Amino acid sequence: MQVEPKKVKKPSKRHQPSGMTILFEDDDIIVVDKVSGLLSMSNAKTRDRTAYFALNNYVRKGNAKSRKRIYIVHRLDRDTSGVLVFAKSEQNKRYLQDEWTNFSKKYYAVIHGNMDEKQGVLSSYLAENVIHKMYSTDDPKVGKLAKTGYKVIKESSRFSLVEIDLLTGRKNQIRVQFADIGHPVAGDNVYGTKEKGIKRLTLHAGSINIKHPHSKEKMTFEAEIPHYFQALINR
């Protein structure tokens, strides 16, 4: 069920968050469509050029003394675009995180080549090496089970656009599993191959279904597939 956003008083343009579009906001949560290239949260090198920092400034309306803040529920990789959910209280954050595995998430990706099986489930155990890169293993004692449902929705001679159901939520699982079967995500310089002419990682969090932490109403949030994905398929 698509729920209309509750009207909130918007701050001045000076405090509007850059690098994202607000899809929904009420007193309990804020949901955005994040652009590729923007960190969800800070790391050792970057503190202020993140979705988290920008949204904190947004809810505080630029007032550093304000007690208002947002709480990180989940994250997207820097180069992955799409739906990102934040909470406005610790209690709401805990509720959403506790229920996270019960929420359905749909992604879209452009992958190299054409798949023989146009629909199916990728399954493997994922582990992390000493340089924090994920890899697949057959040993359940070493890795954690990762399952990714997929369906090819459009093809060209070089690329395929796939719709992905994230059945588990392991780090980089989509990128690792498609690379494992010889169809890496286009623009993936870590698990795929560097290729000139591809502007970005073509992975997008297209939609998420959640249960609202206060009303317990089921809600669906969607972020349109980037036009660049279609342009790449049409090359």
User: Which DSSP symbol is given to 7?
Assistant: P
* Domains of the chain listed by start with CATH number: 6-102 (3.30.2350.10), 103-235 (3.30.2350.10)
Over the chain, what is the mean pLDDT? 90
* Contact call for residues 186 and 198 (beta carbons, < 8 A): yes
Helix (H) or strand (E) holding 210, with range, is strand 203-211
77 catalytic per annotation? yes
Rounded Cα–Cα distance for residues 24 and 207 (Å): 13
Contact 18, 33 (CB under 8 A): no
CB 32 within 8 A of CB 21: yes
> What's the pLDDT band for 8 if we cut at 50, 70, 90?
low
Would you state the pLDDT for residue 12? 52
Catalytic residue among 26, 27, 28, 77: 77
What is the pLDDT confidence band of residue 47, given thresholds at 50, 70 and 90? low
- Kindly report, residue by residue over 114-169, the tens digit of the pLDDT: 999 999 999 999 999 999 999 999 899 999 999 999 999 999 999 999 999 999 98
- pLDDT at residue 206 greater than cutoff 90: yes
Query: Over 90: is that where the pLDDT of 172 sits?
Result: yes
